[in-house]
A and B are shown apart, each in its own frame.
Chain A
Amino acid sequence: MPDATGLELLAAELGDAALETVYFRNRATLVVEASRIRAVLATLRTKGYTFLASVHGVDHYPEEPRLSVIYELLDMSRVDRITVKLRVPVDEPTVPSVTADAPDGSGWPTADHQEREIYDMFGVVFEGHPDLRRILMPEDYEGHPQRRDFPLGGEPVLFTRDEAKWLESRE
């Protein structure tokens, strides 16, 4: 972990791309501007955070902006982790993709399937992703089921003890 001071130094280096720093229970978190995530991750890579351990999404309903994407980075030589968060509104959920490789080597190929999963479950659109399709749900599925305003779905289960009630309701 970078300590609280180290986190502030990182944030200062990122300039106005870093919106907020959170240091809580020895976890360092950077909240950054969504449109500049590629540059932020590229800068962190030069600081030693060369391993993108996980990309995941969260729905903060009913807070606004609702959707957030979280990048977990790991420095394998110092065993040092940092979390990068960004928030996007549900009306315009676009985030630059970090998957595609660039001439300066700023791509993270491991993010490919994880970004597809976030797109599938939360509907965050990753601009510049090489192959943004659904990955878990069927391709013709409508909606993004992990959003918190998505109906839970499922089937009403008929137990024998409710059978009479059920038959009444059908008449």
Chain B
Amino acid sequence: MEVKREPLGPAGQGSPNAPLADGPLRVQRLNAEQLLRGGEIEGRNQSAHLKGTELEQYVQERVLTTTLDSAVAWARSNSFFPLAFGLACCAMETFQTAGPRMDIARFGFEAFRASPRQADLIILAGRVSIKMAPIIRRLYDQMLEPKWAISMGACCSSMGVFNNYALVPSDKFMPIDVHVPGCPPRPEALMHGVLKLRKLVQDDPDMGWRERYEAVGTEESP
């Protein structure tokens, strides 16, 4: 029995059975182009017959409009690059948040970066000693705008059980967007904080804390 081999490749080459250049593939392509121009193909593009308000309604039903800002915010809020940065025991909970149970990757946060130049979110996971504070400030300054910071755990926000000579609260030397309380916060709590930050970036950059703390007008980039 004779086996007939047909070479793979662009259609119409080398085989007498393949569609020719003006075959179904070419027809499909031409139809698609005509659809894009607003033409009618065998009754499939009804908008070609619509006029005035009907056409407007047709477009509104099928096209989603948005502002560039909110589109960018949506993209940003779903692709944070956190800095891989653990200070103390809270870091364990951060790892767990990235782990399979919480799975921070569902929201696009999973790309932990080793360099502040590539990160736009710093999670201060642990207590900040006076000696560490300038280093953290430097890391924060090295991050590219726009950037956010989460203060995780009691020590980082209010010095917690280590309220003594050695530590400094993180608000003293850098702006913090979200505080996550707990000692240490469970992964669910950090998740809640991260989603708060996500919401903050998406549609509510203020969250009302400036009014509460009488800090209106202190925005870095209004």
Interface residues of A (CB under 8 A from B): 136-138, 141, 145, 150-155, 157
* CB closest residue in chain B, given A152: B164
Q: Chain B residues near A141 (CB, 8 Å)?
A: 130
Contact A136 B165 (CB under 8 A): no
Tell me the complex Cα distance, A83–B101, Å. 51
Q: Is B159 an interface residue (CB 8 A)?
A: yes
Number of residues from B at the complex interface, CB < 8 A: 10
- A154-B159, A155-B159 as given contacts; A138 in contact with B165, CB under 8 Å: no
* A-contacting residues, B155-205, CB 8 Å: 158-159, 163-167, 169
Contact A152 B158 (CB under 8 A): no
The number of A-B residue pairs with CB atoms under 8 Å apart is: 28
Interface residues of B (CB under 8 A from A): 130-131, 158-159, 163-167, 169
Report the 6 A-B pairs with minimum CB-CB distance, sorted nearest first.
Answer: A154-B163, A153-B165, A145-B165, A138-B131, A157-B158, A154-B164
Knowing that A137-B131, A154-B167, A157-B163 touch, tell me 20 more A-B residue pairs with CB under 8 angstroms.
A136-B131, A137-B166, A138-B130, A138-B131, A141-B130, A145-B164, A151-B165, A152-B164, A152-B165, A153-B165, A154-B159, A154-B163, A154-B164, A154-B165, A155-B158, A155-B159, A155-B163, A155-B169, A157-B158, A157-B159
Q: Chain A residues near B167 (CB, 8 Å)?
A: 154
Contact B131 A150 (CB under 8 A): no
